[in-house]
Structure 1
C-alpha cells in the first residue's frame, strides 16, 4: 500500500480509540485511522496476531509496529511532536519506548478508556 499513511488500531478497544481521538485532536494525526478488524491485513503485509498485539503504521509498503508506529505518528505531525518522534527512533530511547509500549499494551484494559474487553483475545470479544 502506498500514498497516505494508514494507522491500524484495535477498534474494539476503548483505550485504543481514546488514543486515536487524542491524536486527531491534540497532535494532528496525519494518517487514516483504520480498525484492523475491518482492514485487509494481508494487503498491508501483516497478520491478525500482530495487529492484535500492536498498533501499526503502514506507508509506502513499509510497516512499523508498536512504539515505532507511535514514533511515526509523532514524526508526521510536525513540530514540536516530530522532535519526540525522531528521538523515539534512537537507542537508548528506542529501547525504553519499546519497553513502555509493551507495558501499556498488556495493561490497556486497566487504563483510562480501557474496558475488560480489551484484555480478551479478539475472537472472544
Structure 2
C-alpha cells in the first residue's frame, strides 16, 4: 500500500507502547514491536531498531526524532512536529535523552499522561 505508515518500535518499553497507542488515536498506522517484526522485510537491523523508532512510508525510512516529527505532523500535531524539526540537534538530543532515560521521573510522568489520554480515549469510544 503506497500511503501505508509502518512504525517499528520497542515493544518492551511501556512509554513506547503508550506513545504508539496515543498516535493511533488519530492516525492509521501499522505498528509492530521490533522484537516480533520481520526486520529484513523492511531492510532494518535489530541494532537500528533497538536504538530508535523506525517509520517506513512511501519507500522511505525515518528514525528517531525525524520519525516522531513525521508521526506528529500526520497525526495533526503540526506545532510539535515543527518544534522537533526546527530545533535540529536539540530535537535529536531530546529524542536520544528520552530513549536513554526511559525509567527517569520525567519520562515516567510523560508515560502516565499518555496512559491517561489513552484511557480517556477508550472511555469516549465506549460512550
| TM-score (norm: length of structure 2) | 0.74
Q: Which aligned pairs between 1:88-107 and structure 2 lie closer than 5 A?
A: 88-90=84-86, 93-107=87-101
Q: Matches of 2:93 and 2:18 in 1, distance apart?
A: 21
Correspondence for 2:64 among 25, 48, 66: 66
8 Å Cα contact 1:5-1:32 kept in structure 2 = yes
DSSP-derived class of the 1:73 partner:
helix
Cα root mean square deviation, aligned: 2.1
Q: 1:84-119 CA deviation, whole Å, 9 max, x = no partner?
A: 3244333xx1211100001100011333259xxxxx
Which position in structure 2 is the counterpart of 1:108? 102
- Unpaired segments ≥5 residues, structure 2: 113-127
Which position in structure 2 is the counterpart of 1:7? 7
Higher helix share: 2
Which position in structure 2 is the counterpart of 1:82? 78
| TM-score (norm: length of structure 1) | 0.75
Residues paired across the two proteins, number: 108
Q: Matches of 1:3 and 1:23 in 2, distance apart?
A: 16
- Unpaired segments ≥5 residues, structure 1: 115-125
8 Å Cα contact 2:23-2:75 kept in structure 1 = no
